[in-house]
């Protein structure tokens, strides 16, 4: 009896397969028409799509730490109350650097740099507007008709920059670390124009480097600026004191008593004090310059984008294969589902 049941079940399966085969054959024209239309629509979509060139750039950030020879001289600078050997600041981690690359400040600074693309030298933001035809309707708008980024930035400029920054961050720019075991950061930027994609990605790294280095060396730079101003001031006072001392000394050449030479002695002491102060300031200024050089981080670009860039949009061959397989699957699934529903109702 169990054997008979198995034979019946096997016959039912074969019968069901035959019914599905017959259903496919009976709907072959509809299936073929659907596949043809689906593939044609997919190929037309690929044909009319804009190219999307991808510029990839990798870099690493190295914070230079305090060196031993310089640390031994830190006492000289500490005489003036400055901690110029505090080492590099760890505020900017890898994640912070990645966010800095996507910040409005860095992107807007990069957009306001000039570069020659397609024999036209202009701001990156002007090239961007032209490439995506975002300025085609400006002639009909009185507020935008005479707008130029060579002029002083206004509210209209800020609005346009903000709009483009949001579009770049949402659709064109990717910053990531592909391997957690390394410190290499990868930047990818896509654009319809391959020259714009390559040059703008390099401009982003350049502007990020300027902002990052400026932040990391701000304290040392302020120290150097103060010491330089103070050294210039003391040097000026020293010159005046030396002139006064020389003049009084010439006047007192025939004076023998010490009481008559009191002013000369006071001026001489003032010159010696100012000279000592100036020498110490110059010494600490040079130490601070060495410290600044030692603490300046290095943004080392590993790989730059090289033309020709790869078009990341679907190729005809890839689109044909995918659309063909997908359309066949959808049509067969629809036929099977329809057959199942009809059989259930019956």
Please check whether residues 185 and 250 belong to one and the same domain.
no
Q: Which tokens belong to 169?
A: 């961050």
Q: Which domain holds residue 9?
A: 2-49+314-345
Please check whether residues 213 and 229 belong to one and the same domain.
no
Please check whether residues 71 and 168 belong to one and the same domain.
yes
Q: What is the pLDDT along the chain (346 residues), one digit of tens a residue?
A: 455 555 556 666 667 677 677 667 777 787 788 778 877 777 777 666 677 888 888 888 876 554 434 444 444 445 444 444 444 444 456 777 888 888 898 999 999 998 888 888 888 988 888 888 877 767 666 666 677 777 677 787 888 889 999 999 998 898 888 877 777 888 999 888 888 989 999 999 989 888 888 887 888 888 888 888 988 988 898 888 888 888 877 777 766 566 666 777 788 888 888 888 889 888 888 888 887 887 777 788 888 888 887 766 666 676 677 877 887 888 878 777 777 777 676 6
Please check whether residues 111 and 98 belong to one and the same domain.
yes
Global confidence as pTM = 0.64
d(CA 153, CA 130): 19
User: 53-62 and 298-303 as β-strands: parallel, antiparallel, unpaired?
Assistant: antiparallel
Q: pLDDT tens digits, residue range 160-174?
A: 889 999 999 998 898
Name the nearest CA neighbour of 197 among 49, 99, 312, 47: 312
Please check whether residues 212 and 283 belong to one and the same domain.
no
Structural domains of the chain, count: 3
Q: Which tokens belong to 326?
A: 């997908």
Q: pLDDT tens digits, residue range 207-238?
A: 988 888 888 788 888 888 888 898 898 889 88
Please check whether residues 274 and 330 belong to one and the same domain.
no
Please check whether residues 187 and 280 belong to one and the same domain.
no
d(CA 72, CA 78): 12
Please check whether residues 195 and 265 belong to one and the same domain.
no
Please check whether residues 179 and 157 belong to one and the same domain.
yes
Please check whether residues 137 and 106 belong to one and the same domain.
yes
Please check whether residues 12 and 79 belong to one and the same domain.
no
Residue 199: its pLDDT value, please?
92
Name the nearest CA neighbour of 234 among 288, 286, 279: 279
Q: Which tokens belong to 221?
A: 């730079």
């Amino acid at each position: 009896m169990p054997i008979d049941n198995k034979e019946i079940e096997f016959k039912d399966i074969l019968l069901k397969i035959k019914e599905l085969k017959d259903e496919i054959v009976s709907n072959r024209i509809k299936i073929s028409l659907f596949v043809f239309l689906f593939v044609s629509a997919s190929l037309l979509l690929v044909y009319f799509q804009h190219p999307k060139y991808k510029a990839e750039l990798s870099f690493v950030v190295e914070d230079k730490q305090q060196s031993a020879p310089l640390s031994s001289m830190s006492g000289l600078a500490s005489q003036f109350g400055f901690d110029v050997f505090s080492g590099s600041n760890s505020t900017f981690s890898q994640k912070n650097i990645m966010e800095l690359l996507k910040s409005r400040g860095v992107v807007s600074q990069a957009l306001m740099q000039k570069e020659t693309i397609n024999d036209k030298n202009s701001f990156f933001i002007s090239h961007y507007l032209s490439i995506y035809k975002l300025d085609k309707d400006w002639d009909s708008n009185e507020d935008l008709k005479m707008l130029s980024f060579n002029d002083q930035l206004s509210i209209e400029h800020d609005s346009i920059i903000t709009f483009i920054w949001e579009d770049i961050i949402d659709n064109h720019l990717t910053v990531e670390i592909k391997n957690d075991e390394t410190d290499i950061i990868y930047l990818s930027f896509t654009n319809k124009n391959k020259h714009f994609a390559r040059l703008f990605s390099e401009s982003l790294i350049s502007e990020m480097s300027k902002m990052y280095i400026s932040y990391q060396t701000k304290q040392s730079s302020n120290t150097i600026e103060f010491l330089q101003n103070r050294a210039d001031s003391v040097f000026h006072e020293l010159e005046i004191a030396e002139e006064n001392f020389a003049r009084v000394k010439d006047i007192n050449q025939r004076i023998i008593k010490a009481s008559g030479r009191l002013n000369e002695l006071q001026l001489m002491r003032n010159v010696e004090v100012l000279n000592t102060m100036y020498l110490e300031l110059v010494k600490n200024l040079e130490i601070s310059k060495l410290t600044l050089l030692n603490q300046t981080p290095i943004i080392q670009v590993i790989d730059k984008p090289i033309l020709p860039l790869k078009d990341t949009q679907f190729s005809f061959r890839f689109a044909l294969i995918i659309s063909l397989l997908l359309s066949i699957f959808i049509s067969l699934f629809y036929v099977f589902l329809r057959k199942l529903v009809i059989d259930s109702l019956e």
